[in-house]
Structure formats: structure tokens, C-alpha cells
Amino acid sequence: MSDPESLTPAENSDRPDVKIYSLSTCSHCKAAKKFLGECTIKYDFVDVDLLEGDERKAIVEDVRKFNPRCSFPTIIIGEKVIVGFKETEIKEALGME
Amino acid sequence: MSITAQQLYDQMRKVQEPKGYYFNTDRERVFELLEALIANRVRYGYMGCPCRLLSGDRDADRDIICPCVYSVPDIAEYGSCYCNLYVSKEWNEGRTPRDYVPERRPPEKMAF
């Protein structure tokens, strides 16, 4: 028998992967991370401003592919790209509504 | 010599309020942004916008040194700058819809 506490929360199991391209200083990025945290949504993030040199260039190119304006946060939820902290769009992409 | 967020708040307020640009009444958010501006000055030598990726080249980022050149049309159109740091009186009073302010800086301005 599984220990219920060790299980991934059911609401996370069939949800798409979430990745945030963010800045460590940006208020919208912080708000987006806080929102996902409060919704117990797991996400990966990279604070692009804390990267340097080639590493930063490579990630900036990745961001541009999703969002040519290269603004932050750029949030990838499954196949969807959400530019900025837009709560309604995030919830929709996560199937929360 | 380093400046505190409160000192920066007092200084900027004195300059911006007479122009009709007010700090967002969400103090926590404002002070978080002011701390970020101070962090950027330590890192890059200038107070570049905390909500944009800075190049480290002051000349290339001149348009996004806070308050950025885009804050004027953004406050005129949306009642708020891109970061929600500076807003209009009407925005603070809830008389302007709080739409998400899109990035106005042309992408070709990014120095990398």
C-alpha cells in the first residue's frame, strides 16, 4: 500500500509541464511563481538575468523562439506560451477552470 | 554609498508626483521593485528596469532606465507603467481597468 503522503497530488499528475523564463528582479515573474506555488503547481524556472555570457545568450535565443519580444515572464504550459503573468490564461492552460 | 529603498521612494516621489505619476499604493510591490532597482544599480551601475533583461551597457539600455521612456505612453494608455511601479491617480483609485501592460519596447532595442 502506498503512503498517501508520498503520492503526487492527483491534480498535478495529468497536468502539462510548466516552465517559466523569468527575471530575479521582476515583479510579474515573482507574482507568477507565487501564484503557481499557491496552486501547488510544480514548475521549472530559469532567472535569465542571473545567467552570464554564452549561457545567457543561449537561453535568450530559446525565449525568443517562444516570444519574439523576449519579455518576462514567458511561461510555457505544455504547448501553450503565455507572455506575462496572466492568471486566467494560466488557469485555462492548466485546465483549472 | 548605498541608498535605501525608503530614500529612493522619497526622492522619486518628489520628482514624479508633480508630473502626475504616482507610486502604486501596493507598498509591498513598490518596495520590492525599489529594492530590485537598487540591486540593478549595484550589478550594472544604473537603475535599469527590473522587469526587463538589462544588457549591462548603459547606453544601450538608456530607454529603460527607470522611469523608462515607455512609462509615459503606458501610463497615458493603461494608467500604469510596465512594472506597475508608477501609475496614474485614477489607476490607484480603481477608476482605470487594471489591464496587463504589454511590452512596448521594440524588440530590436535589445542589445543582444
Q: What is the pLDDT along chain A (97 residues), one digit of tens a residue?
A: 444 444 445 455 678 999 999 999 999 999 999 999 999 999 999 999 999 999 999 999 999 999 999 999 999 999 999 999 999 999 999 998 6
Q: CB contact, 8 Å: A53 with chain B?
A: no
- ipTM of this complex: 0.91
Tell me how far apart the alpha carbons of residues A16 and B103 are, in angstroms, rounded to a whole number. 27
- As a whole number of angstroms, the distance between CA A27 and CA A18 comes to 19
Distance from CA of A16 to the nearest CA of B (A): 24
What are the strands, taking DSSP E only, across chain A? 18-22, 44-47, 74-77, 80-83
**Nearest chain B residue (CA) to A88:** B100
